[in-house]
């Protein structure tokens, strides 16, 4: 995708943003809904699936291993599963494209089935080491032949019955946790994962939703002990995938910052391991009302009604970083228009995302007139108190979708339009972004 000519765009605001919109489905939940539906006996349906390249790679892989998966005209997906233990040997290698989530979770599923599967991926995915998943799955009895450094292409020889293990996560990783739990589905006895630092818990919630026997306890040190009973029988489900909170962040912040706005973002997932941004915006004085709170597939969901607000700068506690690590670029834009100073710390991980998000945001915000000081592990921002930024610059987004969307929102609160050098990468997470912002009243040239 990134070898195409760049598609620049200039964003500016014509006045208050208004309307009701829906953001694309949550990626983490989309992957898991396809995998678990494919292991349930009977027909499951999924609505609101994120139809990006990564999730389609998961659909293709489950199809290759025997599940019947169809997308209806109305965008509703129907899955006839093979049952736990029923995965078939695929006829050829499974191509994971660029999806690390698909690869690591599917390795877990395959590990406790008596089949041999080869995983391949694109150049970027083939650089990413899989050792942290290979390690626990090997303890369960699966055998691996990987490229040097535990990389793809990789061949996995699954085993049945596999051996249940108690595995303490050496590094906080929802993907490793999920891989072990998914392997435990077809393993006799009880498989346990001990998680010293909590990570997103979509797998636990959805496994329970599909009727797996799963329990979560805390040990004396506060670590979570997640136990799953194997040889599970999963019951088919009807799943409505909640809107991705990381995507909802952009229209929400735009509505807070543009005076007089009144925007409702429908069906947003509010899993506490993911929704830290909305909490921080509320602490800053943002008017975000949760309408029609409900639970869908074990996940908390609500419609967010957001009105133009005067934000106040705050010190953001490092404790909340894990639940909003992807949302700091757009928070920095909100801070640039708040009254007073916003201080963020503990963001070292942002330097190794799709780009160095601390440096890139600092540079871009300065270029459009914000007052920003960069520290080792965060930014200190002195806001304008609601005055528009100068704008007028062209921002290099460094092929990073979240940087591109953050500066698009900044353009809506700048005197002169803000131009993003390339909006193409936005298609990875939020293909309808430009149309959605236009529908609310933004102008994009």
Chain segment 160-181, per-residue pLDDT in tens = 999 999 999 998 889 999 999 9
Least confident of 2-11, 240-249, 317-326: 2-11
Cβ density class 346-360: b for 16+ within 10 Å, e for less: bbeebeebbbebbeb
Give pLDDT, residue 124: 79
Phi and psi at residue 28, to the nearest 5°: -55, -45
pTM: 0.83
Q: What is the pLDDT of residues 110-158, one digit of tens each?
A: 999 999 999 999 887 898 889 999 999 999 999 999 999 999 999 999 9
Q: How confident is the model at residue 399 (pLDDT cuts 50, 70, 90)?
A: confident
Cα distances from 137 to residues 64, 99, 184, 362, in angstroms, run 22, 19, 10, 42
Q: Give the span between the Cα atoms of 304 and 287, in whole angstroms.
A: 10
N-term to C-term CA, the chain: 22
Take residue 238 and report the two structure tokens written for it: 């009807």
Q: In this predicted model, which residue has the larger pLDDT, 85 or 273?
A: 85
Take residue 234 and report the two structure tokens written for it: 């999963």
- Side-chain half-sphere exposure of 124, counting CA atoms within 13 A: 7
Q: Give the span between the Cα atoms of 328 and 347, in whole angstroms.
A: 9
Least confident of 4-8, 128-132, 191-195, 303-307: 4-8
Q: What is the average pLDDT across 14-36?
A: 95
Q: What is the average pLDDT across 383-405?
A: 95
Q: How confident is the model at residue 77 (pLDDT cuts 50, 70, 90)?
A: very high
Q: Which residues are catalytic?
A: 326
Give pLDDT, residue 198: 85
Among residues 323, 368, 366, the alpha carbon closest in space to that of 346 is found at 323
- Look over the chain and give the mean of its residue pLDDT values, rounded to a whole number: 94
Give pLDDT, residue 367: 98
Q: Give the span between the Cα atoms of 236 and 8, in whole angstroms.
A: 44
Cα distances from 160 to residues 131, 187, 341, 421, in angstroms, run 21, 7, 58, 52
Q: What is the average pLDDT across 204-211?
A: 95
Give pLDDT, residue 2: 46
Residue 425 has pLDDT above 90, yes or no: no
Q: Give the span between the Cα atoms of 422 and 202, in whole angstroms.
A: 32
Q: What is the average pLDDT across 9-23?
A: 95
Give pLDDT, residue 4: 65
Give pLDDT, residue 1: 45
Take residue 28 and report the two structure tokens written for it: 């983490």
Q: How confident is the model at residue 297 (pLDDT cuts 50, 70, 90)?
A: confident
Q: What is the DSSP string of 349-384?
A: GGGGSSS-HHHHHHHHHHHTT-EEEEETTEEEEE--
Residue 217 has pLDDT above 60, yes or no: yes
């Amino acid at each position: 995708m990134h070898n195409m000519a760049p598609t620049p765009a200039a964003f500016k605001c014509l006045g208050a943003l208004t309307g009701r919109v829906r953001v694309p489905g949550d990626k983490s939940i989309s992957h898991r809904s396809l995998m678990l539906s494919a292991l349930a006996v009977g027909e499951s349906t999924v609505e609101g699936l994120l139809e990006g390249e990564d999730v389609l790679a998961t659909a293709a892989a489950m199809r290759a291993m025997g599940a019947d998966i169809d997308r209806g005209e109305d965008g509703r997906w129907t899955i006839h599963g093979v049952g736990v233990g029923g995965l078939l040997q695929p006829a050829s290698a499974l191509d994971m494209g660029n999806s690390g989530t698909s690869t690591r979770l599917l390795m877990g599923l395959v590990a406790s089935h008596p089949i041999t599967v080869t995983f391949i991926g694109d150049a970027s995915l083939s650089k990413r080491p899989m050792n942290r998943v290979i390690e626990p799955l090997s303890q369960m009895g699966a055998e691996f032949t990987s490229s040097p450094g535990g990389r793809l292409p990789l061949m996995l020889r699954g085993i049945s019955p596999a051996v249940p293990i108690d595995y303490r996560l050496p590094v906080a990783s929802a993907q490793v946790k999920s891989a072990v739990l998914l392997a435990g589905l077809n393993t006799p006895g009880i498989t346990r994962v001990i998680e010293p630092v909590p990570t997103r818990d979509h797998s636990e919630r959805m496994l329970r939703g599909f009727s797996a026997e799963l329990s979560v306890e805390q040990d004396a040190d506060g670590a979570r002990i997640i136990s799953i009973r194997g040889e599970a029988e999963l019951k088919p489900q009807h799943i409505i995938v909640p809107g991705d909170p990381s995507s909802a962040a952009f229209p929400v912040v735009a509505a807070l910052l543009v005076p007089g706005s009144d925007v409702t973002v429908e069906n947003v997932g509010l899993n506490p391991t993911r929704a830290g941004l909305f909490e921080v915006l509320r602490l800053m004085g943002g008017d975000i009302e949760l309408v029609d709170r409900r639970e869908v597939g074990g996940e908390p969901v609500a419609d967010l009604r957001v009105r133009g607000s005067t934000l106040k700068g705050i010190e953001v506690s490092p404790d909340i970083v894990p639940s909003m690590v992807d949302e700091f670029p757009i928070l920095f834009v909100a801070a640039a228009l708040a009254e007073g100073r916003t201080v963020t710390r503990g963001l070292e991980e942002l330097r190794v995302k799709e780009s160095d998000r601390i440096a890139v945001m600092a540079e871009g915000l300065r270029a459009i007139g914000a007052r920003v000081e960069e520290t080792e592990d965060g930014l200190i921002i002195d806001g304008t108190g609601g005055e528009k930024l100068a704008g007028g610059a062209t921002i290099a987004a460094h092929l990073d979708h979240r940087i591109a969307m953050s500066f698009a929102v900044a353009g809506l609160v700048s005197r002169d339009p803000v131009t993003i050098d390339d909006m193409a990468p936005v298609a990875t997470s939020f293909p309808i972004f430009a149309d959605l912002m236009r529908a609310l009243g933004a102008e994009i040239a």
